[in-house]
Structure 1
Amino acid sequence: MIYITGDTHGNFSHVVSLCEKIHTSAEDVLIILGDAGINGFGKEQDRRLKRALSRLPITLFCIHGNHEERPQNIPGYAETLWRGGTVFVEPEFPRLLFAKDGEIYDFGGKRCLVIGGAYSVDKYYRLARGRCWWADEQPSAEIKARVEKRLEKENWRVDIVLTHTCPLQYEPTEVFLPGIDQSTVDKSTEEWLDTIERRLSYEKWYCGHYHTSKQVDRLVFMFQDIRTFPVDG
């Protein structure tokens, strides 16, 4: 089975409950729509979390969020082919997989495009307190070019899109954090995703980032809910 959920930020209690309730196996896959938190706490804490997660009877497929380091920048990660696309993986933790932006993966016969990253509205809060922040949290010009080149090859047709943030037109303004001046928020990724969404032929689009669960047209926001993939409705 394939499941999907939103941001976990290092808290996997609901994932543990799923594994216990459904009696999952290592062949089952959980898609996490960014901010899994697996590479976001510091080396030692990350290793402890990875060891705990590697004991769960499920495979985690993580999209890059904005609260974790990109795996390609961490020593020990290697690229390998999985479900038709390239993933980053550490040999010690073969069931903790990280998607590569612009790749297309096969999930249950659905061709799924992945695009990670977003801007951190808490950037300065984290920096002021000595917490981790990464300058490459958003997709670079190189990543954007790779995504668009791949979509050109696919004639701008995929079945499903998996992203961390959403196209700008779908921003859930009702969940914006109070006290954040939206004029200071870099929305270049959302603006770019808008251009992708307008050109792309697709069935469903799933994203996290906003800590809300709802559906607007073909776009599904997810947070702590875990659902069978693809989500009906």
Structure 2
Amino acid sequence: MIYYTGDIHGMPWNIISFCKKVKTTKDDTIVILGDVGANYYGDSRDTECKRQLSKVNPTVLCIHGNHEIRPSSIPTYKTKEWNGGTVWFEETYPNLLFAKDGEIFDIEGIRHLVIGGAYSVDKHYRLARGYGWWADEQPSDEIKAYVEQQIANRDFDVILSHTCPLKYEPVEMFLTMIDQSTVDKSTEIWLDSIEGRVKYKAWFCGHWHTNKRIDKMHFLYGDFELSSILKEQEFIDEKD
């Protein structure tokens, strides 16, 4: 089984509790939709987060968020092929995988496309206080070109992203202290164009700290959804 969930920001306890509750196995996969926070501080806090996540039975596949360093910038990470796509991993934590953006993963016969990254509305707050912020948090032109190459003449079962296409922005989650005219929405605008060009059964995203569903768009924060939901979506599509 594949279990999808949202941002954890360095706090793995909900995932650990969930795994114990449903009795997950080594054959299962947990997908965290960005802002894992296991590569944020660069110190023992990251190590502890990774140590705890590595204790759970399933493979943990992490999507890139906007509150973490890209593994490609960390010397301890290596790449390998996993279920048809490229992931970053550390030998100390072999079940903790970080997906390369634009890769396609066939997990349990379900084809997933990964598109991580987002803009940080708290960028200036973090910089003013010496907290971590990284200029490559959003998809680069190179990543965008790779994604667009990957979607050519392909359909997908699931798209995994950190933020969502612009048309699905949950405006009720906007922070009242943030002037939206100052927010860089280029990633969401680009995802709009991607969403309009691909066929998919479900799109899972995090980032917005909410649990809701709009059509095929699934927003996740503390909740978990199962890959079996795709069977429900197939039924809906057949009725339509």
Q: TM-score range by the shorter chain?
A: over 0.9
1:123 equivalent in structure 2: 123
Residues 54-106 of structure 1: CA distance to partner in whole angstroms, max 9, x if unpaired?
A: 12222210000000000011001111011111110111110000001000111
1:221 equivalent in structure 2: 219
Kindly indicate whether the alpha-carbon contact (under 8 Å) linking 2:12 and 2:49 is maintained by their aligned counterparts in 1. Answer: no
1:199 equivalent in structure 2: 197
In the TM superposition, what is the alpha-carbon distance from 1:196 to its structure 2 partner?
A: 0.5
Kindly indicate whether the alpha-carbon contact (under 8 Å) linking 1:33 and 1:163 is maintained by their aligned counterparts in 2. Answer: yes
1:75 equivalent in structure 2: 75
What's the C-alpha RMSD, in Å, of the aligned pairs? 1.2
Residues in 2 aligned to 1:57 and 1:159: alpha-carbon distance in whole angstroms: 25
Alignment of 1:46-125 (within 5 A): 46-125=46-125
Letter of the structure 1 residue corresponding to residue 169 of structure 2:
E
Out of 171, 175, 178, the residue aligned to residue 176 of structure 2 is 178
Q: 1:40 to 1:97 in 2, by over 3 A?
A: same
In the TM superposition, what is the alpha-carbon distance from 1:160 to its structure 2 partner?
A: 1.2
**With structure 2 as the length reference, what TM-score do the two structures score?**
0.93
Where 1:69 maps in the other structure, the secondary structure is: coil
Stretches of structure 1 that go unaligned for 5 or more consecutive residues are: none
Where 1:48 maps in the other structure, the secondary structure is: helix
Residues in 2 aligned to 1:158 and 1:221: alpha-carbon distance in whole angstroms: 18
2:42 equivalent in structure 1: 42
Residues in 1 aligned to 2:165 and 2:185: alpha-carbon distance in whole angstroms: 9
In the TM superposition, what is the alpha-carbon distance from 1:2 to its structure 2 partner?
A: 1.4
**With structure 1 as the length reference, what TM-score do the two structures score?**
0.96
Letter of the structure 2 residue corresponding to residue 98 of structure 1:
F
1:164 equivalent in structure 2: 162
Kindly indicate whether the alpha-carbon contact (under 8 Å) linking 1:156 and 1:199 is maintained by their aligned counterparts in 2. Answer: no
Letter of the structure 2 residue corresponding to residue 168 of structure 1:
L
Stretches of structure 2 that go unaligned for 5 or more consecutive residues are: 234-240
Letter of the structure 2 residue corresponding to residue 85 of structure 1:
G
Residues in 2 aligned to 1:6 and 1:118: alpha-carbon distance in whole angstroms: 14
In the TM superposition, what is the alpha-carbon distance from 1:41 to its structure 2 partner?
A: 1.9
Residues in 2 aligned to 1:195 and 1:175: alpha-carbon distance in whole angstroms: 23
Residues in 2 aligned to 1:198 and 1:78: alpha-carbon distance in whole angstroms: 34
1:136 equivalent in structure 2: 136
Residues in 1 aligned to 2:137 and 2:51: alpha-carbon distance in whole angstroms: 25
The percent identity for this pair of structures is 56
Moved more, 143-152 or 13-22: 13-22
